[in-house]
């Protein structure tokens, strides 16, 4: 697939922004932990981010239709750049007595991120031909997962040779370049959809989800998969490694890394075999969900860390083989002018459910045992498999202008 100019600019701009996001997260978590010595205080960073992104998913529809999508994406990145500069200046005066001010900046950055993420997914079908969407989504996911995997390691190395403030200035530079690249994207001529007031703007995406059969099923699938996926958060996986596998904490890193490697391999598979997958979207989505269920159940009962390593890779692999074709189904299921509101609604489901269910899964792990929560996760994926199997005819690539 020959990458066109707009897709390349979008990919490079978002990649630099994602690199900056990880580096900024590493520096902030480190800063807060050094200031407070509290793991609880540091853990409020991802909680603040998730909460802000949920709010952003609800508010973004107000801007869609009023602001050009390209400038909305570029503007959100410019806003993040300004906030990072403020954050870098604040680090000179932040102490244990006023570190809570950092959470205000973190929340505002996440608010803009919650706007940017659905816009990127919305813009891809505007810049890529319908028959190339699986490959384009695969490339975007591969780059994103590689950045997520590598940059956490790189960020830790940065903190060895640089201060947190210096890392933030590096982030600022990455954000400036990302902002410039996104400004060069082609404007999207999008027809606005008639909406009744501000409430109508919020309801638009939800109405589209409810009125489009395949999106209604995907929303339910996202709901169930988000709950199931919370067992893979760092804290719960750490407990599984310690209490179920009875091995040291280094295995926690190995298994976590194996999961991300599976995501990358799944993305690469979708790129290589995109032409085949395009014609079998329903079967591929069903196969990915079925194998995800089976492998998760096997993971829940294994006591061998090497087997757990392979199974973790399998969960990431088949999860991604399912998710990328599913993105193509979403992107071609409604007119392009409705995509942004659809993605903000799906984003609200994902962030809202994740924040609550990660807390619930942690409590359940203490009450009913760590293996049991993985069994529950697998059973939720079994329900997803049944939903996909019963509705395979809906999971197809439609040609909608």
- Identify the CA nearest to 79 among candidates 44, 52, 50: 52
Q: Are residues 32 and 131 in the same domain?
A: yes
Burial class (CB in 10 A: 0-12, 13-18, 19+), 97: exposed
Q: Using H for helix, E for strand and C for coil, what is the string for 41-77?
A: HHHHHHHHHHHHHHHHHHHHHHCECCECHHHHHHHHH
Instruction: Give dist(CA 121, CA 50) in Å, integer.
Output: 19
Q: Are residues 36 and 181 in the same domain?
A: yes
Q: Are residues 323 and 366 in the same domain?
A: yes
- Identify the CA nearest to 42 among candidates 29, 26, 52, 31: 29
400, part of any domain: no
| CATH number (domain holding residue 76) | 1.20.1250.20
Q: Are residues 346 and 221 in the same domain?
A: yes
Q: Are residues 110 and 153 in the same domain?
A: yes
> pLDDT tens digits for 81-130?
999 999 989 888 877 677 788 889 989 998 888 887 778 888 888 888 87
Q: How many CA atoms lie within 13 A of 52 on its CB side?
A: 21
- Beta bridge partner(s), residue 67: 64
Strands (E), 171-256: none
> pLDDT tens digits for 364-386?
888 888 899 999 999 999 999 99
Rounded to the nearest integer, the mean pLDDT of the chain is 84
177, part of any domain: yes
Domain final residue, candidates 187, 209, 238: 187
Region 334-338 average pLDDT: 81
Q: Are residues 242 and 166 in the same domain?
A: no
Domain final residue, candidates 138, 162, 187: 187
192, part of any domain: no
Q: Dihedral sign for Cα 169, 170, 173, 178, please.
A: negative
pLDDT for res 1: 47
Name 242's Cβ contacts closer than 8 Å, sequence gap at least 6. Answer: 249, 252
CB atoms under 10 Å from CB of 182, counted, come to 27
Domain residues for the domain of 171 are: 5-187
Q: Are residues 118 and 246 in the same domain?
A: no
> pLDDT tens digits for 202-212?
677 788 888 88
pLDDT for res 400: 54
pLDDT for res 17: 92
> pLDDT tens digits for 300-317?
999 999 999 999 999 999
Angle between helices 69-90 and 100-127 (to 10 degrees): 160
Q: Into how many domains does the chain fold?
A: 2
- Higher pLDDT, residue 175 or 91: 175
């Amino acid at each position: 697939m020959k990458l066109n100019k707009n897709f390349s600019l979008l990919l490079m701009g978002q990649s630099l922004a994602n690199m900056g996001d990880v580096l900024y997260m590493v520096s902030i978590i480190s800063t807060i932990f050094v200031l407070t010595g509290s793991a609880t205080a540091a853990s409020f960073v991802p909680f603040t981010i998730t909460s802000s992104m949920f709010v952003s998913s609800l508010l973004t529809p107000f801007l869609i239709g009023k602001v050009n999508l390209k400038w909305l994406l570029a503007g959100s990145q410019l806003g993040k750049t300004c906030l990072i500069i403020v954050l870098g200046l604040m680090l000179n005066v932040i102490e244990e007595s006023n570190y809570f001010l950092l959470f205000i900046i973190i929340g505002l950055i996440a608010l803009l991120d919650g706007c940017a993420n659905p816009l990127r997914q919305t813009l891809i079908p505007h810049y890529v031909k319908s028959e190339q969407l699986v490959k384009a989504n695969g490339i975007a996911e591969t780059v994103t997962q590689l950045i997520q995997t590598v940059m956490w390691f790189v960020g830790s190395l940065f903190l060895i040779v640089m201060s947190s403030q210096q890392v933030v200035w590096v982030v600022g530079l990455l954000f400036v370049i990302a902002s410039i690249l996104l400004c060069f994207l082609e404007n999207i001529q999008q027809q606005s959809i008639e909406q009744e007031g501000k409430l109508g703007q919020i309801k638009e995406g939800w109405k589209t989800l409810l009125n489009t059969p395949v999106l209604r099923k995907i929303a339910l699938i996202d709901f169930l998969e988000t709950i199931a996926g919370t067992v893979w958060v760092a804290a719960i996986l750490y407990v599984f490694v310690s209490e179920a596998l009875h091995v040291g904490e280094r295995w926690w890193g190995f298994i976590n890394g194996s999961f991300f490697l599976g995501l990358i391999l799944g993305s690469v598979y979708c790129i290589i075999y995109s032409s085949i997958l395009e014609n079998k979207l329903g079967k591929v989505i069903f196969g990915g969900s079925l194998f995800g269920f089976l492998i998760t159940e096997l993971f829940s009962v294994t006591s061998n860390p090497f087997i757990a390593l392979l199974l973790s890779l399998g969960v990431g692999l088949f999860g991604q083989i399912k998710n990328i074709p599913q993105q193509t189904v979403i992107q071609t299921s409604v007119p392009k002018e409705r995509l942004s509101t659809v993605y903000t609604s799906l984003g609200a489901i994902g962030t809202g459910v994740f924040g609550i269910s990660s807390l619930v899964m942690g409590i359940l792990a203490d009450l009913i045992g760590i293996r049991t929560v993985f069994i529950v996760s697998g059973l939720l994926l079994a329900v997803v498999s049944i939903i996909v199997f019963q509705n395979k005819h809906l999971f197809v690539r439609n040609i909608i202008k």
